[in-house]
């Protein structure tokens, strides 16, 4: 009887899992259940497409020929309604599918929670290619389109960039006192905010949208401070939720996402998870976390694929296949204003953490150190770019001159290597 691996989702985690399975020698069936009719694309590229910086074709990392070599049975426009782990059955709008092993790689969608419901208008989002196309169309439909972006995350700033490239007038609202709360220390966030202000972006921080009314093609937003303002479009970008509505409550151990072991197995030995739905152990955070990065999804998908193939062929999984976690390393650019962030910048994660901020010719660097005890003076004396002053666990590099040749990128790569222990 033919062996069947079912993959729910058709993004980067799914494709990397399929590549790993075939590379490991698994020759059985791989059935992919996709809720869209496209080839897998990169969500990272959608903001560039929305801003008309790249073509539609550039959003797709794999060619038709590359995907065909994997010999996948892809079921398009297939919405999964329920995963029955007891019966090894996936119930979908296109019928039921059985499996021997199942990988959940359904990604995440933007959360609309916290934004008022409007009659007659649905706010835009930025995640899928369809979302990006809607933003392009909306910005093209009116000269000097006035856009309100709700959120202060990296996705929110990518939305800002897309709108600015389309010559829109942009306002950014968020309940946090600073942008990029999870990615930047306040001192760096303030510098980024100054740069956005110089670009003409209106920052409405420490506020929420209490009411939004759509009338005569315009949105009237009332903020928590009582002020009101009108806009042509709204983009909501203040959080992501894993796509797990098809998993019945209590069937798989879950927290923010599905809890997985080092081999990407869930609490059911025949069900795996990878990407934005998987909450794996991340050493840099000292706990289980959804990282939500493209590279992380690639690595988790590869790990799951290797493990599934090995187990399907009846062999013992070698320890070297384990997912070892990754140290977060990311960057966000709006025009030439760039933040590079790595490791953990959470100063509240330990009482022994110390922040040191220093200025260099290319910009500003914020270092987060883990100290065995308080050894650093308030002025940061004895610490900095190369001096040893505890363990470097996180950093921010900021520059408002982020040309590709900027030394800021070299600094970010060097500091990342310090965190991972590649260099002292």
State residue 292's pLDDT score: 83
Work out the end-to-end distance of the chain between its first and last CA atoms, rounded to an integer number of angstroms: 55
Q: Are 332 and 180 in contact (CB under 8 A)?
A: yes
One domain, residues 304 and 262: yes
Q: What is the CATH number of the domain that holds 293?
A: 3.50.50.60
Domain end residue (candidates: 287, 321, 355) = 321
Which tens digit of pLDDT belongs to each residue from 44-91? 899 999 999 999 999 999 999 999 999 999 999 999 999 999 999 999
Same structural domain, 196 and 150: yes
The 10s digit of each residue's pLDDT in 166-205 is 999 999 999 999 999 989 999 999 999 999 999 999 999 9
| Residue 340 shares a structural domain with residue 310 | no
In this predicted structure, the answer to whether residue 13 has a pLDDT above a threshold of 90 is: yes
Tell me the percentage of the chain whose pLDDT exceeds 70. Answer: 96
Give the domain-ending residue among 240, 259, 286. 240
Which two structure tokens, joined as six digits, stand for 327?
């140290």
Q: How many domains does the chain have?
A: 3
Contacts of 277 (CB under 8 A, 6+ apart): 104, 105, 106, 107, 108, 242, 243, 244, 257, 258, 290
Q: Which of 268, 289, 321 is the last residue of a domain?
A: 321
Residues 324-343 have pLDDT tens digits of 988 889 999 999 999 999 99
Q: What are phi and psi of 371, to 5 degrees?
A: -105, 140
Alpha carbons 358 and 384: distance in angstroms, whole number = 7
pLDDT band at 404 (very low <50, low <70, confident <90, very high): confident
- 124 in any annotated domain: no
**Pair 127, 46: CB distance under 8 Å:** yes
Which one, of 294, 181, 174, lies nearest residue 238 by Cα? Answer: 174
Co-location of 254 and 300 in the same domain = yes
Domain that holds residue 344: 329-420
pLDDT of residue 286: 75
CA-CA distance, 413 to 401, in Å (whole number)? 17
| pLDDT tens per residue, range 211-249 | 999 999 999 999 999 999 999 999 999 888 999 999 999
C-alpha to C-alpha distance for 209 and 204, rounded to whole angstroms: 10
CA dist 171 to 121, 163, 204, 211, 278, Å?
A: 19, 10, 7, 16, 33
Per-residue model confidence (pLDDT) at position 424 = 67
Q: Is position 123 within any domain? A: no
Please indicate, yes or no, whether residues 255 and 223 belong to a single structural domain of this protein: no
Residue 361 to residues 25, 83, 100, 400, 401: CA-CA distances in angstroms? Answer: 52, 55, 58, 11, 11
CA angle 177, 289, 153 (to 5 degrees): 30
Same domain, 133 and 227: yes
Q: Based on the domain organization, do 274 and 214 belong to the same domain?
A: no
Q: Within a domain: residue 188? A: yes
Considering the domain architecture, whether residues 314 and 391 belong to the same structural domain is answered as no
């Amino acid at each position: 009887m033919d062996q069947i691996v079912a993959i729910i989702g058709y993004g980067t985690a799914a494709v990397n899992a399929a590549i790993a399975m075939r590379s490991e020698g698994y020759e059985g069936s791989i059935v992919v259940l996709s809720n869209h009719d496209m080839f897998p694309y990169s969500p990272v590229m959608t903001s560039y497409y929305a801003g008309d910086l790249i073509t539609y074709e550039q959003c797709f990392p794999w060619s038709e020929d590359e995907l065909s070599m994997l010999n996948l049975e892809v079921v398009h426009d297939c919405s999964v309604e329920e995963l029955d782990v007891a019966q090894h059955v996936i119930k979908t709008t296109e019928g039921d599918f059985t499996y021997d092993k199942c990988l959940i790689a359904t990604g995440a969608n933007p959360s609309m929670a916290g934004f008022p419901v409007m009659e007659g208008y649905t706010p835009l989002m930025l995640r899928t290619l369809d979302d990006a196309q809607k933003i392009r169309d909306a910005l093209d439909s009116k000269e000097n389109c006035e856009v309100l972006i709700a959120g202060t995350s990296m996705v929110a700033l990518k939305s800002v960039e897309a709108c600015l490239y389309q010559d829109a007038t942009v306002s950014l609202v968020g309940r946090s006192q600073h942008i990029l709360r999870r990615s930047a220390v306040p001192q760096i966030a303030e510098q980024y905010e100054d740069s956005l202000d110089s670009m003409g972006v209106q920052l409405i921080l420490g506020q929420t949208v209490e009411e939004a009314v759509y009338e005569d093609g315009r949105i009237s937003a009332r903020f928590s401070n009582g002020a009101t303002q009108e806009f042509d479009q709204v983009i909501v970008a203040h959080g992501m939720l894993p796509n797990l509505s098809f998993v019945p409550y209590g069937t798989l151990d879950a927290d923010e996402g599905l809890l997985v072991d080092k081999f990407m197995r869930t609490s059911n030995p025949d069900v795996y998870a990878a990407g934005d739905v998987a909450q794996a152990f991340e050493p840099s955070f000292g706990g289980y976390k959804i990282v939500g990065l493209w590279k992380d999804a690639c690595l988790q998908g590869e790990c799951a694929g290797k493990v599934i193939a090995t187990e399907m062929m009846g062999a013992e999984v070698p320890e070297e296949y384990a997912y070892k976690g990754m140290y977060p390393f990311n960057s966000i650019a709006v025009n030439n204003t760039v933040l590079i962030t790595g490791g953990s910048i959470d100063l509240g994660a330990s009482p022994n953490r110390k922040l040191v901020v220093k200025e260099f010719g290319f910009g500003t660097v914020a270092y987060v150190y883990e100290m065995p005890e308080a050894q650093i003076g308030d002025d940061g004396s004895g610490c900095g770019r190369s001096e040893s002053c505890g363990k470097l666990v996180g950093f921010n590099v900021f520059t408002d001159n982020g040309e590709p040749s900027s030394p800021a990128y070299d600094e970010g790569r060097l500091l990342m290597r310090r965190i991972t222990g590649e260099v002292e």
